[in-house]
């Protein structure tokens, strides 16, 4: 069985500061890893995904994530956040087709 | 269409009523998924279709939940005799079909059971 733990439920950060949202997963097999963002009253939008190859993955809106197999982590980072990055962020894993999501991290960017 | 659409966007039902939620996937996408997102939680898998075949319904919480995709395109999630614990956002996603493909999500239907 697969599971995802997002270690922080809320992360407040000042505008233009760096941010890291943490994600750890558990799986007995190799998985694909995803980060999605959810803005209020909207569906989930893909930020980035790791399938194989380079462990550093770059996504949209300046986000990137690093896959660490030994630590079973897939942390999301952005060097300088903007007010518009305020949203809910979900880490997800899959080996088959259904995605298994974490509980989400609420990123609040403060002006 | 440009993306996945869902209707209605909001649904209020009295306890015991039946509801039907519709999902229109991206044209040509063979895989379709339903997820349930409770308040303050991440989405949880309900069921999955490959074309018209329902390949996995292990996430459906009870036999009151039923999903269909008769022509391999539009899908309907039906909930019979709704209960308060069914209140959630129901998300639909579609993908082109391979295991690693990105799932594209619709805006969801927010169901409130009174």
Q: What is the pLDDT of residue B40?
A: 87
CA distance A36 to chain B (A): 10
Q: How far is CA B110 from the centre of its chain?
A: 11
CATH code of the domain covering residue A70:
2.60.40.10
State the Cα–Cα distance between residues A80 and A13, nearest whole angstrom: 10
Interface contact flag, B41 A46, Cβ < 8 Å: no
Chain B hits for A45, Cβ within 8 Å? 105
Interface contact flag, B91 A100, Cβ < 8 Å: no
CATH code of the domain covering residue B39:
2.60.40.10
Q: What is the mean pLDDT of residues B27-51?
A: 94
Judge whether B50 lies within some domain: yes
State the Cα–Cα distance between residues B59 and B96, nearest whole angstrom: 21
Number of domains making up chain B: 1
Of A96 and B6, the structure prediction assigns the larger pLDDT to B6
Low-confidence ranges of chain A (pLDDT < 70): none
Highest mean pLDDT among A26-35, B59-68, B90-99 belongs to B59-68
pLDDT above 90 covers what percent of chain B? 89
Judge whether B99 lies within some domain: yes
State the Cα–Cα distance between residues A96 and B72, nearest whole angstrom: 20
Lookup: tokens for A46: 């893909």
Interface contact flag, B102 A46, Cβ < 8 Å: yes
State the Cα–Cα distance between residues B106 and A30, nearest whole angstrom: 28
Q: What is the pLDDT of residue A76?
A: 98
Q: What is the pLDDT of residue B87?
A: 97
Judge whether B114 lies within some domain: no
**B35: closest CA among B84, B100, B88?**
B88
Q: What is the pLDDT of residue A15?
A: 97
pLDDT above 90 covers what percent of chain A? 77
B46 Rama class: left (phi>0) / alpha (psi -120 to 50) / beta: alpha
State the Cα–Cα distance between residues A76 and A26, nearest whole angstrom: 17
State the Cα–Cα distance between residues B84 and A80, nearest whole angstrom: 42
State the Cα–Cα distance between residues A33 and A107, nearest whole angstrom: 20
State the Cα–Cα distance between residues B47 and A98, nearest whole angstrom: 8
Domain that holds residue A25: 3-110
Domain that holds residue B33: 5-108
State the Cα–Cα distance between residues B86 and B63, nearest whole angstrom: 13
Q: What is the mean pLDDT of residues B79-94?
A: 97
Q: What is the pLDDT of residue B1?
A: 52
Question: Within a 10 A sphere around the Cβ of A49, how many other Cβ atoms?
Answer: 19
**Interface residue of B34, B43, B44, B59 to substitute, partner A, most A CBs within 10 Å:** B43
Instruction: For chain B, give the mean pLDDT.
Output: 94
Lookup: tokens for B94: 């579609």
CA distance A82 to chain B (A): 23
Q: Could you identify the residue written with the tokens 């229109």?
A: B24
Lookup: tokens for A42: 């909207």
State the Cα–Cα distance between residues A13 and B86, nearest whole angstrom: 34
Number of domains making up chain A: 1
Q: What is the mean pLDDT of residues B33-55?
A: 95
Q: What is the mean pLDDT of residues B11-35?
A: 96
């Amino acid at each position: 069985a697969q599971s995802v733990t997002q270690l922080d439920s809320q992360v407040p950060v000042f505008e233009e500061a760096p941010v890291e949202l943490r994600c750890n997963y558990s799986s007995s097999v190799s998985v694909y890893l995803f980060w999605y963002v959810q803005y209020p009253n909207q569906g989930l939008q893909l930020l980035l995904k790791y399938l194989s190859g380079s462990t550093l993955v770059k996504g949209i809106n300046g986000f990137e994530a690093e896959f660490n197999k030994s630590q079973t982590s897939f942390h999301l980072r952005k060097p300088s956040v903007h007010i518009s990055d305020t949203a809910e962020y979900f880490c997800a894993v899959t080996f088959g087709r259904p995605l298994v999501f974490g509980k989400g991290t609420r990123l609040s960017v403060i002006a | 269409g440009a993306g996945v659409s869902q209707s209605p966007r909001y649904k209020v039902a009295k306890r015991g009523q039946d509801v039907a939620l519709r999902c229109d996937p991206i044209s040509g996408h063979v895989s379709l998924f339903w997820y349930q997102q409770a308040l303050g939680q991440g989405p949880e898998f309900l069921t999955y279709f490959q074309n018209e075949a329902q390949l996995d319904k292990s996430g459906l919480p009870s036999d009151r939940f039923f999903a269909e995709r008769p022509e391999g395109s539009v899908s309907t999630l039906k909930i019979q005799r709704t209960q308060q614990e069914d209140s959630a956002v129901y998300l639909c996603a579609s993908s082109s079909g391979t295991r690693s493909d990105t799932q594209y999500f619709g805006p969801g239907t927010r169901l409130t059971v009174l």
